[in-house]
Amino acid sequence: MPRLQTAEQVKRFQERCKSSLDEFPLVVSLCHGTACCAIGAKELAEAFEEALGGDKSVKFIKSGCHGFCEVGPLVVVRPLDVVYQRVKSDDVPEIVERSLKKGEVIDRLLYHPGDNGNVFAKEDEIPFYAKQSKVVLALNSHIDPYSIDDYLAYGGYGALSRALLEMTPDAVLKEISDAKLRGRGGGGFDAGRKWKNCREAPGERRHIICNADEGDPGAFMDESILEGNPHSVIEGMVIGAWAIGGDDGFIYIRNEYPRALKAFSNALKQAHEYGFLGENILGSGLDFDIKISRGGGAFVCGESSALFRSLEGMVGEPRAKYIHSVERGYHEEPTNLNNVETWANVPHIISRGAKWFRGIGTEDSPGTKVFSLVGKVENTGLIEVPMGITLREIVFDIGGGIKGGKAFKAVQTGGPSGGCLPASSLDLPVDFDVLTQAGSMMGSGGMIVMDEDTCVVDVAKYFTDFLLEESCGKCLPCREGLMHMSRILHRITEGKGKPEDMDRLARFGDAIAVSALCGLGVSAPNPVLSSIRYFEDEYLAHINEHRCPGRVCRALISYHVDPARCTGCGACEKVCPVEAIQPVPDEKRKDGLLREIDVAVCEKCSACKEVCPEDAIVVESPAVTTEHCRKNVTEMR
């Protein structure tokens, strides 16, 4: 493949790629993202390849994540535009025979939520997708991430061609500024302003960096973008280099993302071959390349200055906030750092214009945002929604509500440094400023939904322990403050809390927020402070009543058998690892035995509750004694 040199050559090649794609009357797109591969997509791909047997009329695509992880593996058949869910290898022959050869729709493979009789065939009809507005993820189910020709067929690298050959760096910078693009990595800083400051900073070299060190528990937004459409990130970075005057580029990617790493490495190689990276890109005079640096799994390296130190081969530790990376970043030289999703938005802004971008979302937070929606929600997965959508729409319309019909308790936004927002916040619009005012944050896009069985004190403890473990320990407020907060939270969940602990947590949290060295430390108290703000009564229940409303904290709960529900099947007794469940004679049971749990021996592992077919294992808080359980049995008799 000769390197492309002009806008006309790029356009002609795009048309040729599109024509090649249009030659296929049928397309089968299999979600081959990490989640679907974990539940059988790899075997499914092999079954399709064998069944199609090189059929030239069908284009088979192993695409990136389609988003609806809850019902994967997913298969889309075009031009029927039918979405098949929970597909297994045994279903492949029927899909080939009926859908591909006869154009029939297989009803049993369609999405059918609940028992209400509703069945949805097309993607835009499925409630999970209906309120989404896909921009960054728009091509994920349409292209092979390992094929640059597929990306070109959908207009890929057209924005780069326009920026380099039809626009000056000033014009590109103005377009990004006019679009009001805000960084999607967590801080929400104005990208246009950051680019401008980096370009104007004194120095001989400028570095363009993509932050793909996504370490939030439950988050997989950047991973899915890199797996599904790596060329969009490359194109955005090269456009950024043109506008800023960048000399070289890096992507700092988690070592825990081998599939994303493989896809991006392949994309870099193809971009070089086609002339979109390297020397004199498209004949514009721009020399720019991107190197890959693999992170070692340190959460703190998601912070910009710690990331730069890691790139330089040193321990990833942050530095003082007053040192701006656009002036002194990588090797103390001007550096522009944006995350994966931010860079992936850039080609769309250059292609469609700032006005189009501002037409999505809100005035101060335009565009869309990609979230990973996980937790106690019916429909988990990857979503892309317009800024300004409410939390209620995300949780109940897209997410389908709470699993098992239970009550909503809270949603954690912004990852481990975000906040827990209660039901009273469900109608808040999701944008950077509103979430911050509510005591949480946008973060990189993690969203964890909690139900009535969740203990927010336990959640605050979990995230505080996570942040303490991941803290670099360089500054005293984060190192010592989080340790003391963790100790207090552990004490509360163990039933040893004191009334003054609430005030202590608040004081520690406020002190860390104003004095920590880096952004991660500043936001670390958010889970605790927000949960105290909205769920003070739950903390007081732990401290004053030694009761866990969510029935989670082991020291404050006990397990016992409800004699009214127990059938005497013995399933619980068989799985108990400590033999805490003993048979009690009772002529009304099928085997003549009732089960009883010795709470003094029980380790509260929940194994018995998970296997009980009658839901007869009851969790109580405050904890009860064995004598109390026996009294219940006697009364039932």
pLDDT digits (tens, 9 = 90+) for 379-412: 999 999 999 999 999 999 999 999 989 999 999 9
Instruction: State the pLDDT at residue 604.
Output: 92
Same domain, 177 and 258: yes
Rounded CA-CA distance 425/415 in Å is: 17
Burial class (CB in 10 A: 0-12, 13-18, 19+), 459: buried
Same domain, 348 and 222: yes
Instruction: State the pLDDT at residue 214.
Output: 86
- Among 413, 428, 339, smallest CA distance to 374 is for 413
Work out the pLDDT band at 588, boundaries 50, 70, 90: low
Rounded CA-CA distance 85/70 in Å is: 9
Same domain, 445 and 520: no
Same domain, 418 and 540: no
Rounded CA-CA distance 381/66 in Å is: 9
| Final residue of a structural domain among 544, 565, 592 | 544
Residue 636 has pLDDT above 70, yes or no: no
Domain assignment of residue 398, yes or no: yes
Residue 528 has pLDDT above 70, yes or no: yes
Task: Tell me the β-bridge partners of 61.
Answer: 29
Residue 1 has pLDDT above 80, yes or no: no
Quote the mean pLDDT of the chain.
91
- Domain residue limits at 111: 21-126
Same domain, 423 and 490: no
Q: Which of the pair, 137 or 600, is modelled with greater confidence?
A: 137
Same domain, 340 and 394: no
Distances (CA, A) of 402 to 13, 395, 466: 48, 8, 26
Same domain, 480 and 429: no
Rounded CA-CA distance 100/93 in Å is: 10
Residue 626 has pLDDT above 60, yes or no: no
Go through the chain and tell me how many residues it has.
637
Instruction: State the pLDDT at residue 495.
Output: 92
- Among 136, 131, 124, 137, smallest CA distance to 66 is for 137
Lowest mean per-residue pLDDT among 245-249, 420-424, 628-632 = 628-632
Residue 622 has pLDDT above 90, yes or no: no
- Among 254, 260, 336, smallest CA distance to 301 is for 254
Instruction: State the pLDDT at residue 473.
Output: 86
Give the mean model confidence (pLDDT) for residues 215-233.
91
Question: 140-170 pLDDT, tens per residue?
Answer: 999 999 999 999 999 999 999 999 999 999 9
| Final residue of a structural domain among 323, 358, 393 | 358
Residue 437 has pLDDT above 70, yes or no: yes
Same domain, 318 and 399: no
Give the mean model confidence (pLDDT) for residues 196-212.
95
Burial class (CB in 10 A: 0-12, 13-18, 19+), 217: middle
Instruction: State the pLDDT at residue 272.
Output: 96
**458 within 8 A of 542, measured Cβ to Cβ:** no
Hey, what are 591's tokens? Answer: 């085997």
Phi, psi of 560 (to 5 degrees): -150, 165
Domain assignment of residue 319, yes or no: yes
| Final residue of a structural domain among 451, 486, 510 | 451
Side-chain-side CA neighbours of 457 within 13 Å: the count stands at: 31
Q: Please list the helix, strand and coil fractions of the chain in percent, rounded to the nearest 5, in that order.
A: 45, 15, 40
Into how many domains does the chain fold? 5
Same domain, 174 and 314: yes
Rounded CA-CA distance 629/627 in Å is: 5
Give the mean model confidence (pLDDT) for residues 425-450.
90
Hey, what are 174's tokens? Answer: 């103005």
Question: 17-48 pLDDT, tens per residue?
Answer: 999 999 999 999 999 999 999 999 999 999 99
Give the mean model confidence (pLDDT) for residues 74-91.
95
Task: Please name the residues in contact with 144: beta carbons below 8 A apart, sequence gap of 6 or more.
Answer: 61, 62, 63, 150
Same domain, 561 and 575: yes
Hey, what are 412's tokens? Answer: 């954690």
Q: The CATH number of the domain where 438 resides is what?
A: 3.10.20.600
Rounded CA-CA distance 163/168 in Å is: 7
Same domain, 112 and 225: no
Give the mean model confidence (pLDDT) for residues 459-465.
94
Give the mean model confidence (pLDDT) for residues 554-562.
91
Q: The CATH number of the domain where 85 resides is what?
A: 3.40.30.10
Domain assignment of residue 221, yes or no: yes
For tokens 């492309």, the residue is 4
Instruction: State the pLDDT at residue 583.
Output: 86
Same domain, 43 and 65: yes
Instruction: State the pLDDT at residue 633.
Output: 45
Work out the pLDDT band at 105, boundaries 50, 70, 90: very high
Task: Tell me the β-bridge partners of 410.
Answer: 422, 450
**440 within 8 A of 414, measured Cβ to Cβ:** yes
Q: Return contacts of 488-492, CB within 8 angstroms, 24+ apart.
A: 489/457, 489/460, 489/461, 489/464, 489/528, 490/461, 492/457, 492/539, 492/542, 492/543
- Among 138, 336, 349, 148, smallest CA distance to 231 is for 148
Q: The CATH number of the domain where 513 resides is what?
A: 1.20.1440.230
Work out the pLDDT band at 637, boundaries 50, 70, 90: very low
Domain assignment of residue 10, yes or no: no
Work out the pLDDT band at 590, boundaries 50, 70, 90: low
Domain assignment of residue 384, yes or no: yes
Q: The CATH number of the domain where 235 resides is what?
A: 3.40.50.11540
Phi, psi of 409 (to 5 degrees): -110, -50
**391 within 8 A of 371, measured Cβ to Cβ:** no
Domain assignment of residue 134, yes or no: no
Domain assignment of residue 140, yes or no: no
Domain assignment of residue 12, yes or no: no
